[in-house]
Chains A and B, each alone.
Chain A
């Protein structure tokens, strides 16, 4: 029984793994939306142009991912950096201040930040990047603080008592042990930003939100549907990828 099981289990496990399926669905929709024209025409017979065609969905996806990548990258660097700083002896006093500032960054709705940023930096990607970076900061910072707090105090005391320098303790003990919690925060932050980036098309950034905005203003429900499906699938694929990353990291 055990001899036959491994092959069968792996094959079935592969088939049950949702990530390849979700990724395939996403790619099919990105490159095959035009082929679905008859479907959308049948669903929305009153529309003259049932498939969004002003930009290619591939270009929108790439631009969407670029905005999310840049803003989340910034949020991770600053969030993890601030979290580490706030848990060092030298930065401990700044911790309440850092937490307040970052929390207020998330209190502002991204739309409000976009509206405030446009007069300052103009239309386009810049206001979107500012709003998303601020919005994504809090989950990363909070998870970094929680992750470092979750390190067993005994491990820290032993590390110090055995003669690891503060830098070695951070690199070899604190960060590896905090990593699963930090990764969970990054995952939340990135998923939120994928959804929120769609709004950035209101200020002229090219994202998968563009068909939605155009569809809403032009009463074209098909455009809204196409944009929403892609944003949703992109978030699902990213979330599954993070889950995979978390499992891989736990195994290392």
Chain B
């Protein structure tokens, strides 16, 4: 979908992106991870030409991005940012309709699209469509921001620390939403963050950046179980890497089917990290497991957590 070949970018002679090559496949949820100053936002902004690269090639759908008008390429890529940037003088409806109206969709189609997106982002369409951004909470504003980014049916969704300014509870809810949207729509998503847990829980592919270079890229599991060097190990946390690994897998992967146990059962979709917490809180070494419809599936034993399988 997006291909970067030996891309370099410098600000005032200081290299920010250094000979970087990267392929972002269609349908992937790619998270660009790095500390501040690693060049991750710069990398994202070069993809929709908010920043121009100095050398190398960036291809979008197989074509050099400089062969498009900047506006044309941006309308094919959604864009959501940390400060949300809703237009304060426009209603929720008009904000979401920004790109469809730029693309000159007929009014009925725009109206239907706004309703569809508000429903997708769990905003009550009739209640909120005429409201103004200042009448919404921070989480609702970012929902509108994401809806606006998706409105023009973009082939790629670019997100620059979209949940960075939200409180932990709202952030967690919106992370679940965006994961659900990625599954439902299959849109290619590129998300920039410095939040390691956000990266691990959302990404199908993580790109770890430092000083404008890719240190390692791969699935969350590969990053944790096969760190390329000490930097990667330290970045993901030397001490709690085991906990993070457990966070990547669900109870279903350790299920002992057919066995029975007492006590309050847990869902098979629960992460092993949360399951471990359950073991500790309840002071047991065996939990009953049920599926989404509360049908008994089997059990999980505390010792099963030690069995680290990729």
Which residues on A are within 8 Å of B, measured CB to CB? 152-165, 168, 172-173, 176-177
With an 8 Å Cβ cutoff, the count of chain B residues facing the other chain is: 25
Does B86 count as interface, using CB distance less than 8 angstroms? Answer: yes
Instruction: Identify the 7 closest CB pairs spanning chains A and B, nearest first.
Output: A158-B85, A154-B83, A154-B85, A161-B79, A163-B74, A163-B75, A163-B71
Contact present for B84 and A161 (CB under 8 Å): no
| Given the contacts A158-B79, A161-B74, A177 and B102 also touching, CB distance less than 8 Å | no
Contact present for A158 and B81 (CB under 8 Å): yes
Which residues on B are within 8 Å of A, measured CB to CB? 48, 50, 70-75, 78-79, 81, 83-89, 98-99, 102, 145, 148-149, 158
Contact present for B102 and A155 (CB under 8 Å): no
Q: Shortest CB–CB separation between residue A165 and chain B, in angstroms?
A: 5
With CB as the reference atom, state the residue of chain B lying closest to A151.
B88
Q: Is the interface of A mostly helix, strand, loop or mixed?
A: helix
With a CB–CB cut-off of 8 A, which chain A residues contact B85? Answer: 152-159, 161
The docked-state distance in angstroms from the alpha carbon of A152 to that of B87 is 9
| Given the contacts A154-B81, A157-B81, A162 and B98 also touching, CB distance less than 8 Å | yes
Q: Shortest CB–CB separation between residue A103 and chain B, in angstroms?
A: 30
With CB as the reference atom, state the residue of chain B lying closest to A158.
B85
With a CB–CB cut-off of 8 A, which chain B residues contact A157? Answer: 50, 81, 83, 85
Q: Shortest CB–CB separation between residue A175 and chain B, in angstroms?
A: 10
With a CB–CB cut-off of 8 A, which chain A residues contact B70? Answer: 163
With CB as the reference atom, state the residue of chain A lying closest to B75.
A163
Contact among B50, B83, B86, B89 with A160 in the assembled complex (CB-CB below 8 Å): B50
12 residue pairs bridging A and B, Cβ less than 8 Å apart: A153-B83, A154-B84, A155-B87, A157-B83, A158-B145, A159-B85, A161-B81, A162-B102, A163-B70, A163-B71, A163-B72, A176-B89
The docked-state distance in angstroms from the alpha carbon of A80 to that of B8 is 39
The docked-state distance in angstroms from the alpha carbon of A152 to that of B83 is 10
Q: Name the residue among A160, A163, A172, A173 with the largest chain B CB count within 10 angstroms.
A: A163
| Given the contacts A161-B50, A163-B75, A164-B102, A173 and B83 also touching, CB distance less than 8 Å | no
Q: A156-B85, A157-B81, A162-B78 provided; 4 other pairs, C-beta below 8 A? A: A152-B83, A155-B85, A155-B87, A177-B88
